[in-house]
Amino acid sequence: MRTTKQLVDAVVNGEPRSIARAITLVENGSLEAQEISSRLFPHLGKAHVIGITGPSGAGKSTLVEKLVRKYRERSRTVGVVAVDPTSPFSGGAFLGDRIRMQDLSTDTGVFIRSMATRHNPGGLAKATKDTVRILDASGKDIVIVETVGAGQSEVEIMKIAQTIVVVLAPGLGDEIQAIKAGMMEIGDIFVINKADRENANKAATDIQSMLELSSEKHQWKPAIVKTIALTGEGTIQLSEKIDEHRKYLEKGEGKIRQQRILEAELMEAIRQKAAERIIQELKKSGRFSMLISRILRKELDPLTAAEKVLGERMNKG
Ligand SMILES: Nc1nc2c(ncn2[C@@H]2O[C@H](COP(=O)(O)OP(=O)(O)OP(=O)(O)O)[C@@H](O)[C@H]2O)c(=O)[nH]1
Ligand SMILES: [Mg+2]
């Protein structure tokens, strides 16, 4: 039996089967998961993590495949995490992704993993983040995360990716309108894919004017790139823009973003660990069931009970 340390060493050496194994272990929330994450932590921060998000069917997977090929031409190693929202729409397309990318799966410079909600009881966002970190630690130069932009995932992708590419396509109509607002805020680069279709120029002008309306808080001006993912047209321009954004981040903004992410993560970790410990103690001492009885009798409400518990602990310590 290999120890967790040996597994992590193999991941850091880029060994594909160990990478796959480590991902499965963190996905399942296994006992080793925390040790894996901790041991990988010092090895993080080398990869450039690119988030590709946008409405279902915009052409994200097609574009990702072309981008991967562009990076491989430049001898860059790439990890891809495709997040399957298990929506009825993406079910078919997802299978398509596999077939399209089949030849890439024999390339040792590429590691592709798909994530599904149903395999991740601990939450898709956490599993995605852990997987990105494993791929980063494994020495991949680029890690691409594909997510369908819908509600929460916009915020989540910001905690994972350094450069966010929002992929839109002409003619997606209402669906775009509904999610555009959230995505306009987070995009570093906007892709109008399916530029072979009519209205692509109009879509680009629409985005342009929406961007001009939004407040300019940052020095980086979101770029707009037109692509035809099917033929690969425009993907060179897109990868150039991504590089440009990476260079911009390296000048300072990247550190600020990183600090913000780690602050949020530390707060979340404290919250989780502290709560776990306190609840465990309360249950062990029987105090938990005492409090519940009082709450059931309406003598106490849960928030006041929690305050009471914390007050008592503070007095003790
Ligand atoms: N005409 C045209 N069709 C495209 C283009 N890019 C992708 N498509 C097609 O659009 C459909 C959806 O493409 P996908 O790459 O699966 O889209 P996606 O955004 O990954 O979709 P989900 O993962 O389901 O959210 C496929 O049938 C593609 O062949 C393009 O540039 N032009
Ligand atoms: Mg897709």
DSSP sequence for 229-272: TTTTBTHHHHHHHHHHHHHHIIIIIHHHHHHHHHHHHHHHHHHH
Confidence category of residue 102, pLDDT binned at 50, 70, 90: low
Q: What is the pLDDT of residue 210?
A: 78
- Atom number, ligand 1, closest to the C-alpha of residue 89: 24
At residue 104's C-alpha, the angle toward residues 190 and 90, to 5°, is 55
Pull the structure tokens for residue 150: 């819908």
Q: What is the pLDDT of residue 151?
A: 54
Superfamily of domain 44-251: P-loop containing nucleotide triphosphate hydrolases (3.40.50.300)
Domain spans of the chain?
Answer: 1-43, 44-251, 266-316
Ligand 1 pocket mutation pick from 56, 61, 191 by most atoms within 8 angstroms of CB: 61
Please name the residue whose Cα sits nearest to atom 7 of ligand 1.
59
Q: What is the pLDDT of residue 286?
A: 96
List the single range of 110-114, 205-209, 249-253, 276-280 with lowest mean pLDDT. 205-209
Which residues' Cβ are closer than 6 Å to ligand 1? 56-62, 89-90, 93, 96, 148, 193-194, 196-197, 228-230
Q: Are 163 and 242 in contact (CB under 8 A)?
A: yes
Ligand 1 pocket mutation pick from 95, 230, 233 by most atoms within 8 angstroms of CB: 230
Confidence category of residue 215, pLDDT binned at 50, 70, 90: low
- Residue 74 is given by DSSP the state T
Confidence category of residue 87, pLDDT binned at 50, 70, 90: very low
Please name the residue whose Cα sits nearest to atom 25 of ligand 1.
56
pLDDT tens sequence across 135-160: 999 999 999 999 877 555 566 788 88
Q: Are 122 and 29 in contact (CB under 8 A)?
A: yes
